[in-house]
């Protein structure tokens, strides 16, 4: 008789009672590039299933663990399991000692340091002052239609029902409210093809794109105050393509423009603004995602801000990039970004997270959830 158990892959072990550095290294050293999160999702599900105070749910490679103590409020604490591709920066390594120690490697910042904080608290807090839904989701670093949080919001909206949400994206252990929206358009410049030896017979579309670039160069992005936080906008060419051969005058050129807009603007208003800037050109929207207002005037959000800033110090700041707080905002749930790691180091080959930030974020969240 054959041994069928030999065909079942062994689930990697995660010790959720380990110190934060050990737990973060265990998460990071188990690769989970977008689309390859199953092994890590299995490990997270297996580790959390040992705790009787948690109900475990799963959709694809998204794992949800939630308490049910009957508290009057419920909060979501969420983080994604996937990373961008590895760049010879695993396994992790610990550099320095004491307050100067840093954990180097893919995912330490974006965002397995935050996931380690979540897991440690999910295991330890059997009776938090708010019921908590801990969400560990897949496919954040790729196309938005693959995003595990979005998939769960569509398929199981009751799993995300809450009064407030915290996204453990890297914020340098500071509190960042809301996020900018993002819009991408193609500005299309027409031309007329001709042999490059007889250029006068054609119209060079690449040359014509110069006016598009001049408008961008002259554009002055706004800084917009929203609920006390100042969001810096941005309007930039991010791609340009044109031409078919080295001896042909290009008959078309396309400039892809990315507009990062303050959360006070709707996607429709953002698109109208871009179309006004490029009046006279064909403008085709290719992607848009609404931003999220800070929401710090919500009572639960205000309590959270007071609790975490008492531990970490500083003042609330805006999130300039787009994050999944916007998904919670679309569900009517106020949400903030709060996690270890400098977002400027996310996706970089020298990605690294100060150990003190792991501890600070853990202690701040614990203080809030046990107050």
Q: What are the residue numbers of the active site?
A: 82, 140
CA–CA distance, 247 with 194 (Å, rounded to integer):
9
Strands in 93-95's sheet, in edge-to-edge order, are 93-95, 102-104, 352-354
Q: What are phi and psi of 211, to 5 degrees?
A: -65, -40
* Nearby residues of 190 by Cβ (< 8 Å), 6 or more positions away: 203, 205, 208, 251, 252, 282
Q: Are strands 175-177 and 335-338 parallel, antiparallel or unpaired?
A: antiparallel
CA–CA distance, 166 with 55 (Å, rounded to integer):
19
Instruction: From residue 310, give the alpha-carbon distance in Å to each of 166, 171, 229.
Output: 17, 16, 19
Contact assessment for residue 167 and residue 328, using Cβ atoms and an 8 Å cutoff? yes
Our measurement of the distance from residue 357's CA atom to the centroid of its chain's CA atoms, rounded to an integer in Å, reads 18
CA–CA distance, 304 with 352 (Å, rounded to integer):
26
CA–CA distance, 325 with 307 (Å, rounded to integer):
20
CB burial string 101-122: b at 16+ within 10 A, e below: eebbbbbbbbbbbbbbbbbbbb
């Amino acid at each position: 008789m054959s041994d069928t158990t030999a065909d079942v892959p062994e689930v990697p072990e995660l010790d959720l009672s380990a110190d934060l550095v050990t737990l973060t290294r265990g998460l990071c050293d188990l690769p989970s590039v977008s689309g390859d999160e199953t092994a890590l999702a299995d490990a997270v599900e297996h580790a959390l299933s040992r705790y009787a105070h948690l109900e475990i749910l799963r959709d694809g490679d998204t794992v949800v663990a939630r308490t049910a103590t009957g508290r009057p409020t419920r909060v979501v604490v969420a983080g994604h399991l996937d990373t961008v591709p590895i760049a010879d920066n695993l396994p992790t390594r610990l550099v320095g000692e004491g307050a100067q120690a840093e954990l180097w490697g893919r995912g330490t910042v974006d965002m397995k340091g935050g996931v380690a904080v979540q897991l440690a608290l999910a295991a330890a807090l059997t009776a938090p002052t708010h019921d908590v839904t801990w969400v560990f989701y897949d496919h954040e670093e790729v196309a938005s239609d693959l995003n595990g949080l979005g998939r769960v919001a569509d398929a199981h909206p009751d799993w995300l029902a809450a009064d407030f949400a915290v996204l453990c994206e890297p914020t340098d252990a500071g509190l960042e409210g809301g996020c900018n929206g993002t819009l991408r358009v193609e500005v299309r410049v027409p031309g007329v093809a001709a042999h490059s030896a007889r250029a006068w017979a054609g119209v060079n579309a690449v040359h014509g794109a110069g006016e598009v670039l001049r408008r961008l160069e002259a554009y002055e992005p706004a800084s917009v105050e929203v609920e006390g936080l100042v969001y810096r906008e941005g309007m930039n060419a991010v791609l340009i393509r044109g031409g078919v051969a080295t001896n042909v005058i290009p008959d078309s050129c396309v400039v892809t423009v990315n507009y990062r807009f303050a959360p006070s603007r709707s996607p429709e208003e953002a698109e109208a603004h871009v179309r006004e800037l490029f009046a006279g050109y064909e403008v085709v929207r290719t992607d848009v995602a609404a931003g999220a207002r800070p929401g710090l005037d919500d009572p639960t959000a205000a309590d959270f801000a007071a609790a975490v800033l008492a531990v970490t110090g500083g003042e609330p700041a805006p999130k300039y990039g787009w994050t999944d707080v916007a998904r919670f905002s679309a569900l009517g749930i106020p949400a903030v970004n709060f996690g270890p790691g400098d977002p400027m180091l996310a996706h970089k080959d020298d990605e690294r997270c100060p150990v003190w930030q792991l501890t600070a974020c853990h202690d701040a969240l614990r203080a809030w959830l046990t107050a």
